[in-house]
Amino acid sequence: MPDRLLRWSWWRHHANGLVVLVGVVIILTGTFAAVLRVYQTADQAHDAICALRAERISGVHSATAFLKEHPQGIPGISRADLLRSIETQKQTVRAFRFADC
């Protein structure tokens, strides 16, 4: 009987260590998954910013070309409206200049 108790005591002592080890592995796995998710979200945000910036740059070029063809604007869209639109798009491009696209 004492031999049996000794084995049980040894197993119980090591089982506690195993539980702690499993807990640490679970925590590290969860932390790694969370960090990976943050990086994936950051990549998606970067791609969206670059797409928006490229679209605004294209809009500036298109509006500038349109303004050259119609220097006084067209009925319903004045020259001032076109210039305001170009300036707003340029502001967006400047706001996203930090993005390395």
In a domain, 100, yes or no: no
Q: Which domain holds residue 66?
A: 2-95
CA distance 13 to 2: 16
Q: Give the pLDDT confidence of 24-60 residue by residue, as tens digits.
A: 999 999 999 999 999 999 999 999 999 999 999 999 9
| Residue-level pLDDT at 92 | 94
- Asked if residues 58 and 101 have their Cβ atoms less than 8 Å apart, the reply is no
Q: Which two tokens stand for residue 22?
A: 């499993």
Residue 46 lies in a domain: yes
81-89 contact pairs (CB < 8 A, 24+): 85/59, 86/60, 89/56, 89/57, 89/59, 89/60, 89/63
What is the token pair recorded at 90?
């340029």
Tally of domains within the chain: 1
User: How many Cβ atoms sit within 10 Å of the Cβ of residue 56?
Assistant: 19
DSSP-derived letter for residue 30 is: H
The string of pLDDT tens digits covering residues 58-92 is: 999 999 999 999 999 999 999 999 999 999 999 99
| 101 located within any domain | no
In a domain, 7, yes or no: yes
